């Protein structure tokens, strides 16, 4: 009978750190060719150590497998990328959200739109906003419309698509165009009356 007293070192999701200067050329393609699905953070090139010194540039990678992989199996992948020791992901959502420091306002914030997904992985589920956040974003849009005298929904959508792609644009696409269109329309009608 096998000794089963140790911790299970298998997992479907593993975290890696990849450094640009030590990664092999075309390292992402290597993973794709191996059939490994993964999520890649934006390049973290602005992170700061407690001393104030800039950290070495790196990517956070979340490897996602369809079945459990042992530490040894993932270590082989990690070694091919010249990456430090892989870590089991304790939370897929936490790993993905950490890629842009969304829950760490004291750290440099990276753009969600710069996250790269390779394979059939839905990361949007980890960024769904609460009702309170949604209402605050709608308030921001209303303030923006008022301050910039916007009187066409197209102007707001164009602005959101270019400048607020990670928060306003999805909100307008999914469920807030109705209120924003009506708000903008009422501004236009009020201008006509006066």
Instruction: Read off the pLDDT of residues 30-57 as tens digits, 9 standing for 90 and up.
Output: 999 999 999 999 999 999 999 999 999 9
pLDDT digits (tens, 9 = 90+) for 115-128: 999 999 999 999 88
Report the b/e string of 127-165 with b at 16+ CB within 10 A: beeeeeebeebbeebeebbeeeebeebeebbebbeeebe
**Per-residue pLDDT at 193 exceeds 80:** no
Same domain, residue pair 75 and 164:
no
Is 50 among the domain residues? Answer: yes
Domain of residue 116: give its range.
11-126
Write down which residue in 126, 150, 167 finishes a domain. 126
Confidence at 188, pLDDT banded by 50, 70, 90: confident
Let me know whether 25 and 69 are in one domain. Answer: yes
Q: How confident is the prediction for the chain on average, in pLDDT? A: 92
Same domain, 63 and 148: no
Confidence band of 71 (pLDDT split at 50, 70, 90): very high
Q: Is 67 a domain residue?
A: yes
Same domain? For 21 and 116 the reply is yes
Residue 6 lies in a domain: no
Give the number of domains in the chain. Answer: 2
Query: What count of Cα atoms within 13 Å lies in the side-chain half-sphere of residue 181?
Result: 8
Q: What is the pLDDT of residue 8?
A: 64
Same domain, 109 and 184: no
For the cut 80, the answer to whether the pLDDT of residue 26 exceeds it is: yes
């Amino acid at each position: 009978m096998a000794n089963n007293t140790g911790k299970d070192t298998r997992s479907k999701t593993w975290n890696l750190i990849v450094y640009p200067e030590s990664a092999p050329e075309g390292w992402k393609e290597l993973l794709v060719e191996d059939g490994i699905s993964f999520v890649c953070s934006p390049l973290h090139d602005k992170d700061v150590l407690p001393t104030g010194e800039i950290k070495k540039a790196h990517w956070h990678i979340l490897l996602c497998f369809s079945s459990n992989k042992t530490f040894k199996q993932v270590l082989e992948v990690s070694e091919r990328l010249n990456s430090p020791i892989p870590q089991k992901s304790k939370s897929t959502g936490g790993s993905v959200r950490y890629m842009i420091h969304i829950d760490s306002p004291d750290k440099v914030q990276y753009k969600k739109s710069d996250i790269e997904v390779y394979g059939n992985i839905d990361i949007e589920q980890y960024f769904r906003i609460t009702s309170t956040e949604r209402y605050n974003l709608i308030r921001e849009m209303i303030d923006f419309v008022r301050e910039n005298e916007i009187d066409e929904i197209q102007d707001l959508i164009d602005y959101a698509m270019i400048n607020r792609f990670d928060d306003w644009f999805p909100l307008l696409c999914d469920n807030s165009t109705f209120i924003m269109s009506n708000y903008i329309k009422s501004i236009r009608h009020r201008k006509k009356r006066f």
